[in-house]
Amino acid sequence: MPATAKRVPKPESTGKTVGAGRQKATRTTTKPAKGSSKLPASKPKPVKKVSQAVAQQMLDLLCEKYPDADCELDFESPYQLLTAVILSAQCTDTQVNKVTRVLFKRFPTARALANGSLDEIKEIIKPTGYYNAKATNIQTCARAIVERFAGEVPSTLEELTSLPGVGRKTANVVLGTAYDVPGWTVDTHVQRLSKRLGLSANADPYKIEMDLQKHFPAQDWSKLSITLIWHGRRMCFARNPNCPECPINHLCPSSLV
């Protein structure tokens, strides 16, 4: 299935021992330090889940806020997108794009990367962090693509997740962006926002994905997931979210305004 090419640039504890000359069990008690009035931290209250209608309204407004939301990784083929997504772990898309500009010029296809020098690959991708593991991962994945799929990245979730180092999140990015196959990309932003917006009470990415699938029409999954990612990067930050300027602060159950 052909992919749509994307342009390239863009207690304290107290112990007391009883007795002398013989050991007895030490009883440990926990108490606050002298002069301290602090109580043990309480667990944050669970966010109230919103109705399907409110969920849809929130995402509609976010789509209006970010009409141009799209994958921010540069690529020209599904292989390049898949490789870039693997490299993006614990790294910004901006940094990945700088690295892949060099990497894909040197290794433009899965076959080229599969046959490349591992040391050279490591040197090129070093700025993305964890480069030893990442270099091994992308080359092992490329070899599997060559050996099992004739050098072409597969276009189904089952086949993609059978590749070394490719999970559901990575697979759904490739499917939605390169093949127009709808899917939820549950990255750290989508995980955080799903809880804040009352879309899911789960912490497990797979369970979150299933909850989000129930809320929204299948044809919108890819568009909505990238829209949530944009909102998480630009306004609904992990710390100090910009609630005053948020277009859904009147609907969000976690709003601070």
Residues noted as catalytic: 169, 187
Question: Which pairs count as long-range contacts for 108-116, CB under 8 Å and 24+ apart, including other chains?
Answer: 108/80, 109/77, 109/79, 109/151, 110/79, 110/142, 110/145, 110/146, 110/151, 110/152, 110/153, 111/142, 111/146, 111/151, 113/79, 113/83, 113/138, 113/139, 113/142, 114/139, 114/142, 114/143, 114/145, 114/146
Q: CA-to-CA distance for 199 and 248, rounded, in angstroms?
A: 14
Query: 25 is written with which tokens?
Result: 């069990």
State how far the Cα of 178 lies from the Cα of 193, in Å rounded to an integer.
24
Residue 28 bridge partners (DSSP): 15
How many other β-carbons are positioned within 10 Å of the β-carbon of residue 256?
A: 11
User: What's the CA gap between 234 and 124, in Å, rounded?
Assistant: 29
> How would you label 169-187 residue by residue, b for 16+ Cβ within 10 Å and e otherwise?
bbbbbbbbbbbebbbbbbb
CA distances from 255 to 68, 148, 202, 237 (A): 25, 49, 19, 12
